[in-house]
Amino acid sequence: MNAVVRPDPSPALPAPPMAARPPRTEGAQWVQRLGRKYADRITALRRLPAREGDYVDLPPDLPPGLADALRARSVTRLYRHQAEAWRAAQDGENLLLATPTASGKSLCYLLPALAAARHGGKALFLFPTKALAQDQVAELIELSTAGHLGVRAATFDGDTSGDARQAIRASGDVVVTNPDMLHQGILPHHTKWAALFENLRYVVIDEIHGYRGVFGSHVANVIRRLKRLCAFYGSDPQFILCSATIGNAVEHAEALIEAPVHAITESGAPSGEKFLLLWNPPVVNPDLGLRASARSQSVRIARVAIKAALKTLVFCGSRTQVEVITKYLKEVFDREPRGPARIRAYRGGYLPNERRETEVAMRAGKVDGIVSTSALELGVDIGALDVVVLNGWPGSVAATWQRFGRAGRRQQASVGVLVASSEAIDQYVVQHPEYFFGANPEQARIHADQPLVLLDHVRCAAFELPFSAGERFGPVEVDGFLDLLADDAVVHREGERWEWIADSYPANAVNLRAVADGNFVVVDRTDGRQTIIAEVDYTAAALTLYEGAIHMVQSVPYQVERLDWPGRKAYVRRTFVDYYTDAIDHTKLKVLERFDASPLGAGQCETGEVHVVRRVSGYKKIRFHTHENIGYGPVQLPDQELQTTATWWQLPPAVLEAAWPTREQALAAFHGAGNALHCVAQLAVMAEGRDLQKCVDDAHPDGRFHPALYLYDAYPGGIGLSQPLYERRSELVKRARGLVAACPCTRGCPACVGPVAAPVKDEAETPKRAAQRLLTLFEAA
């Protein structure tokens, strides 16, 4: 079981000498030069001073074997917070580690787990991805080997072979898995895991800030089921939780495990000086208020950094962006096709072994520039970076700090640059630096007792162990839910007990991540091959795998020839065209149920449940470098449907007719107002990334023209954004009007009302004015 030991060079070892590269520019100098040359584009420059390390001696009660293991890896002292973590663990407390990235969090849980393993105490580690899980097993085994501790650790997930599974169940000391596997593969077979549950000392859960929203609510319930089983087997493990910096780490941790935690938030790790820049692309068309693309700026900054021999990472908001930027950078730095790649792309669609290979190369310092999606945000070790460029606002304050955290060197300054796109929210952030620098990172919210989520997990729990009347699941009395399940004939009540009776496996029907299942594989058919070159998840498939799409893998273009939707396969062929493709998608909404409604000015604001249909109607062909639109193509794909909650603002037809001569103008005003309203709404509820979507729909059940602006939660069943928005409906309108009024553009721009077309002759009013007038209609007369 311990056979997989990955011999990676430890980051503490010096980097291999580089041959024939230009001398490295010091980070601080580089920032100064950048600041002088592009002063008009930099809206803010903050300096975070360097920090000394706060060290303490190895704790005296650390077992000698462990102390030896640490010394064998050149660790002779601990950071203060690591020692505090050891102390709290020995004192039997639940622990929360909310220190920044690269602060040595893993030792905080590895040391207690390894110490306990020597006496038969077992541990369960939960990581959100397989890559992180494998990293941890490798680190654990290295420590165990260095100290001759003989601890048996292994990952347990969908890829684990049958024989390995038996061995892990029987004798694994540390089982490393993910919440989905725990939910579906371990808990419903818990009798096979009796040895683990009887001796469980620690449950380690990493990256808990990711367990928010509906997903987090599911995970909280999986933890309830885990605790229930531990009680059955007579164990009471301590929880050690790790979180990125969020606004409410302690509250969130305690909500997840429903128990108090000892929080450690101050890091004793040293950190180098850091410079953070907010960068706004220059205006290229003052009449239309258009700016240069964020992409052009990110490529420029990365080019300048890599030329100065600074290791650079560019974070992108989408996989297509990753491919396009990688292509441009490769054109500059990887002209030699046979030489080692200096620029590499990293994203979720690549095959796991390719990503491992890239991570190893990065750790070894062999890669000069990496272009990635948020996949690299999580804790995978990729060595030290000098410059991090964010191509567009990642959607939250927390994610921005997380990404900036990737840059960091001990002895030299590192740099983080946030490049704004023309999206309203990006423009807001970059023009109001105090919002970002002064903001508390977003809060992570879960609602473990969301009735539908709770019902799912009570069902799974009943499969695992019978329920007695009056028994609680977590803190909730669930007799009522069990009666419902009895009506469904999945449990049978006999006396004071409900027992499972159906011939089904409920965990299979509960997907923790609330998205349709079925990853797509991309099959390369060039020259008669049949090789799988990438994987695409269900939500991205409609946007990137339609027939005719140019799909890029490591910036090599392939064209999709055939898409087998039910079979989840896309067949592609290598292509040499000079354009890329961009899907055109439309969204339509239908109101299923109104929870509440009230008049607002001359119109109405309502909240309720809606049915959203998203259709990809075609695609644009866009030439590289010039970015001209050179054509369109059709797309025939099934619609993607979503049932969720929303809040919407609408105006009666009579009011609209009085205000605008044509329907087109009224709709245009709606779109403009909607852009501003969406922006302020996202900020107001601190929605993260794409959680809150907008849509202007003019359909009405009785066929009349009755447009409305919808703001809906991007998760099935909703995640609790609609109600707070509804409650603040008039405040939001006021703020939106203020945003449009204060915008420095002349006619409208993406920062306020969205992109505007060139003015027509005798334009009656600007898009900006139209949006303001519409918003005014919602304000009390």
Partner 1 sequence: MSAALDWLRQQRRTAPTPPPAALPSVAPAPGSDDIADVIERLRRLRERGPRRTAASASSPTIDRHLPGEEIAPGLWQTTERRASLVAPPMIDLSALARPARGRRPPTGTATFDAPIARERLCFFDTETTGLAGGTGTRAFMIGLARFGREGLSITQFTTATMAAEAAMLRAALADLDEGAVLVSYNGRSYDRPLLSTRHTLARLPDPWRDRPHLDLLHPTRRRWRAMLPDCRLATVERHLLGIVRDHDLPGSEAPAAWRSFLRGGNAALLRRVGEHNAQDLASLAALLLHHLGDADAPRG
Positions in 42-61 near partner 1 (CB under 8 A): none
Assign 561 to helix, strand or coil.
strand
The full length of the chain comes to: 781
Among 102, 476, 584, 597, binds partner 1 (CB under 8 A): 476
Among 317, 718, 748, 767, binds partner 1 (CB under 8 A): 718
Among 16, 340, 480, 759, binds partner 1 (CB under 8 A): 480
Contact 104, 73 (CB under 8 A): no
How does strand 77-79 pair with strand 55-57? antiparallel
Closest Cα partner for 441 from 388, 405, 391, 390?
Answer: 405
Among 434, 593, 702, 762, binds partner 1 (CB under 8 A): 593
Residue 544 belongs to what H/E stretch? Answer: helix 538-544
Among 10, 411, 440, 504, binds partner 1 (CB under 8 A): 504
Which residues touch 744 (CB under 8 Å, ≥6 apart)?
none
Where in 116-163 does DSSP place strands (E)? 122-126, 153-155
Distance CA 274, CA 405 (A): 10
Supply 361's token pair: 């190369």
Among 35, 188, 433, 633, binds partner 1 (CB under 8 A): 188
| CA distance from start to end of the chain | 73
Distance CA 62, CA 76 (A): 12
Among 503, 527, 664, 762, binds partner 1 (CB under 8 A): 503
Stretch touching partner 1 by CB under 8 A, among 48-56, 102-110, 140-148, 189-197? 189-197
Among 465, 556, 667, 684, binds partner 1 (CB under 8 A): 465
Supply 607's token pair: 């909240």
Q: Is 255 in the site for partner 1 (CB under 8 A)?
A: yes
Among 720, 748, 750, 767, binds partner 1 (CB under 8 A): 720
Distance CA 258, CA 665 (A): 53
Q: Is 502 in the site for partner 1 (CB under 8 A)?
A: yes
Distance CA 346, CA 745 (A): 37
Q: Closest CB to partner 1 among 194 and 231? A: 194
Distance CA 754, CA 291 (A): 12
Rounded least distance, CB 254 to partner 1, Å: 10
Supply 588's token pair: 């339509």
Q: Is 194 in the site for partner 1 (CB under 8 A)?
A: yes
Residue 197 belongs to what H/E stretch? Answer: helix 194-198
Q: Is 488 in the site for partner 1 (CB under 8 A)?
A: yes
Q: Closest CB to partner 1 among 234 and 282? A: 234
Contact 79, 57 (CB under 8 A): no
Rounded least distance, CB 301 to partner 1, Å: 37
Q: Closest CB to partner 1 among 216 and 754? A: 216
Q: Is 517 in the site for partner 1 (CB under 8 A)?
A: no
Residue type, 394: P
| Crossing angle between the packed helical segments 451-464 and 479-487, to the nearest 10 degrees | 80
Q: Is 506 in the site for partner 1 (CB under 8 A)?
A: yes
Rounded least distance, CB 489 to partner 1, Å: 8
Q: Closest CB to partner 1 among 592 and 757? A: 592
How does strand 520-524 pair with strand 569-574? parallel
Q: Is 592 in the site for partner 1 (CB under 8 A)?
A: yes
Stretch touching partner 1 by CB under 8 A, among 24-32, 387-395, 453-461, 525-533? 453-461
Rounded least distance, CB 506 to partner 1, Å: 8
Distance CA 459, CA 490 (A): 8
Among 152, 183, 190, 409, binds partner 1 (CB under 8 A): 190
Stretch touching partner 1 by CB under 8 A, among 350-358, 360-368, 482-490, 671-679? 482-490
Stretch touching partner 1 by CB under 8 A, among 83-91, 305-313, 375-383, 510-518? 510-518
Give residue 64's region: left, alpha or beta (phi > 0; psi -120 to 50). alpha
Q: Is 497 in the site for partner 1 (CB under 8 A)?
A: yes
Distance CA 94, CA 71 (A): 27
Stretch touching partner 1 by CB under 8 A, among 22-30, 59-67, 473-481, 702-710? 473-481
Q: Is 732 in the site for partner 1 (CB under 8 A)?
A: no
Phi/psi of residue 564, nearest 5 degrees: -100, 95
Stretch touching partner 1 by CB under 8 A, among 55-63, 313-321, 367-375, 495-503? 495-503
How big is the site for partner 1, counted in residues (CB under 8 A)?
Answer: 64
Residue 276 belongs to what H/E stretch? Answer: strand 274-279
Rounded least distance, CB 480 to partner 1, Å: 3
Distance CA 221, CA 232 (A): 17
Q: Is 469 in the site for partner 1 (CB under 8 A)?
A: no
Assign 250 to helix, strand or coil.
helix
Supply 634's token pair: 């059709």
Rounded least distance, CB 222 to partner 1, Å: 15
145-162 burial: b if 16+ Cβ within 10 Å, else e = ebbebebbbbbbbeebee
Rounded least distance, CB 482 to partner 1, Å: 10
Positions in 389-408 near partner 1 (CB under 8 A): none
Which residues touch 404 (CB under 8 Å, ≥6 apart)?
274, 276, 388, 390, 416
Distance CA 103, CA 690 (A): 29
Q: Is 477 in the site for partner 1 (CB under 8 A)?
A: yes
Supply 55's token pair: 């060290």
Stretch touching partner 1 by CB under 8 A, among 50-58, 139-147, 373-381, 484-492? 484-492
Question: In which residue are the tokens 């740099």 written?
Answer: 415
Q: Closest CB to partner 1 among 35 and 608? A: 608
Stretch touching partner 1 by CB under 8 A, among 30-38, 380-388, 666-674, 711-719? 711-719
Q: Is 452 in the site for partner 1 (CB under 8 A)?
A: yes
Rounded least distance, CB 768 to partner 1, Å: 32
Supply 57's token pair: 């001696």
Residue type, 670: F
Q: Closest CB to partner 1 among 213 and 369? A: 213
Stretch touching partner 1 by CB under 8 A, among 109-117, 121-129, 490-498, 597-605? 490-498
Positions in 595-654 near partner 1 (CB under 8 A): 595-596, 609, 643, 645
Among 499, 641, 657, 731, binds partner 1 (CB under 8 A): 499
Distance CA 724, CA 730 (A): 12
> Which residues are near partner 1 by CB under 8 A?
188-192, 194, 255, 445-452, 455-456, 459, 462-465, 475-477, 480-481, 483-484, 487-489, 492, 494-495, 497, 499-507, 509-511, 514, 592-593, 595-596, 609, 643, 645, 685, 716-720, 723-724
